[in-house]
Amino acid sequence: MGQDKGLINWHGKPQREYMADLLAPYCQKVFISCRADQKGEIEHRNYAALPDLYTDAGPLGAILSAFEQNKNTAWLIIACDLPLLDKLHLDLLFAHRNTAVMATAFAGTDGLPEPMITIWEPFAYPLIKDSLTAGSFSARSILLKNEITLLSPANQHALSNVNRQEDTTEIIRFLASL
């Protein structure tokens, strides 16, 4: 992408802050996952920072870092590069949360679970830790290998993420059409 996706301003503030504010009504406490050198900057803006403990493990490392903060709680994990995620989809996720399975997630356009918009239950922690220890860094593969609740989004656009500059143009066009 060439820039920090969490700092892109889609809604009048940096995306990571927009997402933290969007999630606040659903969570006891919201953390912004970050590199250790970003902690002060995030806290200076009055948000709780959660530095990655597993710096070379991608998103799975961030999820495991959350569980290292508290192993006995469920973690709602949302990527900051989802500028179209809305309250409707968070309501849907929580309404259909299944605490009897490892996670509740949305299916992407390919029908596969989207690990970065998922509620991970506490018993996911040892599975994630074992996967990382074994050298497997795919959060999606953990979801595929275990029992989960998989939801269909009300609107597939809500799960659109921004990974490339071309994605930015598409999202800007979509937001302008609303």
Task: Read off the pLDDT of residues 91-124 as tens digits, 9 standing for 90 and up.
Answer: 999 999 999 999 999 999 899 999 999 999 999 9
Mean pLDDT of the region 41-64: 93
In the numeric block, which tokens belong to residue 61?
């490392």
E strand map for the chain: 31-34, 48-51, 75-78, 103-107, 113-120, 148-151
Q: State the average pLDDT for the chain.
A: 91
Q: What is the pLDDT of residue 109?
A: 86
Domain count, the chain: 1
Instruction: Give the tokens for residue 29.
Output: 């406490």
Cα separation, 61 vs 63, whole angstroms: 5
Looking up residue 140, the CATH number of its domain turns out to be: 3.90.550.10
Q: Tokens 């659109």 — which residue?
A: 160
For the chain, give the percent of residues with pLDDT over 90. Answer: 76
Per-residue pLDDT tens digits for 68-92:
999 999 999 999 889 999 999 999 9
CB 5 within 8 A of CB 162: yes
> 160 lies in which domain range?
5-177
List the structure tokens of 131: 């996967």
Task: Kindly report, residue by residue over 15-32, the tens digit of the pLDDT.
Answer: 999 999 999 999 999 999
Q: Does the pLDDT of residue 1 top 70, yes or no?
A: no
C-beta of residue 5 within 8 angstroms of C-beta of residue 80? yes
27-30 — which CB contacts under 8 Å span 24+ positions? 27/76
Q: What is the pTM of this model?
A: 0.91
Q: Is the Cα torsion angle 137, 167, 162, 159 positive or negative in sign?
A: negative
- The DSSP element (H or E) to which 93 belongs, if any, is helix 87-95
Closest to 14 in 3D by CA, of 23, 5, 22: 5
